[in-house]
Amino acid sequence: MNVVPTKSLAERLKDPSLLVSQCYLDGVFVGEGVDPVADPGSGALLAKVPCFGAAEATTAVEAASAAFPAWAGLLAKQRSKILRKWFDLIEANREDLALILTCEQGKPLKEALGEIDYGASYVEFYAEEAKRVAGETLPSHRLDARVLVLRQPVGVVAAITPWNFPSAMITRKVAPALAAGCTVVIKPAPETPLSALALCVLAERVGIPKGVFNVITGDAPAIGSVLTSHPAVRVVGFTGSTEVGKLLMRQAAGTVKKVALELGGNAPFLVFDDADVDAAVEGAIIAKFRNAGQTCVCANRIYAQAGVYDAFVAKLSKAVADLSVGHGLEDGVVQGPLINEEAVAKVERHVADATAKGASVVIGGERHALGRTFFQPTVLSNVTADMAVAREETFGPLA
């Protein structure tokens, strides 16, 4: 199976101008390409983006802070119209956005299209909610007084987003912030900045004013330090590892920012004796192998009661054997590559640890013949609670 696309990403796009390799600060695309962005499936270089640091992050925050009064001062209906236009443009360009997403992240094109639609739904929803940010009048303990509740935008919002859902996790954080009247600074994952920048292009086209929407790439610790310590930033939203989430929370404590964290998981999947085994297998495939197992809510531990254990393992293994592995742009592919070599090595470590402690490999268990960052869809049996696979988030195609 060929894992190298025959055309470049730009050649595949209906609108090549969506493929941007500069940061967007204060309404201007700036910066020279330094950090490579590669296709995890083929290894092909897609772009080079700027490696900005604390100085540029400060510029982004100050631009967002300066733009805040005017953006917050718009009528809710005006912000709603702009967000609705952004949604319409995202939908109109969904195929190009999905191509960019698949090439930089690896997930199958069908999943990427689903993510674009899912992400766009946040913009659609909050475009309407923008008109419903109303206050309240509540009764008081005094007959001659009432309690008036006002809802006002807090200021600059920093959004630090992950590589596994590089489009939807941006709209999920940014759309409500913009709807409320806040301005934003986005720090996308270094593996997948192109989806963020493509959304930025569309945001600019619909007339989001300069400074309201900023995207910065580069030195993650330096940028993160500014976003969590600058007094103008009032909210920090982060999706990623628990370790980094703890660090950001500590850094944000000094200025008492609001912090919204979506961190790692270790979700269980339970199959009881009276379960429909076929339905359970279908659910397990979706829960475990979507995005090659690289989701924070995917099933990381699968428990089956003794009465259905053997049947479930057999049917799950057969279903896993039928999963088509390849580059996300190829027809029929269900599982794409993992994001990088480090991710593959972690799956290998979990398999090795489990087998050393008594687990059995029912199917898979090794790097795929396609090489690079491809790993065989894998099922282990006789897993116990002391094994790393049961205690840590694998983030790979390992059940």
Would you give the DSSP letter of residue 325? B
Tokens of 209: 């004013």
Please report, for residues 6, 95, 105, 109, the alpha-carbon distance to residue 15 in angstroms, rounded to integers and kept in the order given. Answer: 18, 10, 20, 17
CB 386 within 8 A of CB 285: no
Q: Has 51 been annotated as catalytic?
A: no
Dihedral angle computed from the Cα positions of residues 282, 396, 170 and 122, in that order, rounded to the nearest 10 degrees: 10
Q: What are phi and psi of 351, to 5 degrees?
A: -65, -45
Q: What are phi and psi of 285, to 5 degrees?
A: -60, -45
| Residue 145 exposed, middle or buried by CB count within 10 Å (0-12, 13-18, 19+) | exposed
Instruction: Give me the catalytic one of 91, 129, 262, 282.
Output: 262
Q: Has 330 been annotated as catalytic?
A: no
From CA 269, how far away is CA 342, in angstroms rounded? 26
What DSSP letter does each residue of 82-143 carry, written as one string?
Answer: HHHHHHHHHHHTHHHHHHHHHHHH---HHHHHHHHHHHHHHHHHHHHHGGG---EEEE-SST
Instruction: Give me the catalytic one of 104, 296, 298, 393.
Output: 296
Dihedral angle computed from the Cα positions of residues 61, 63, 65 and 71, in that order, rounded to the nearest 10 degrees: -130
Residues taking part in catalysis: 262, 296
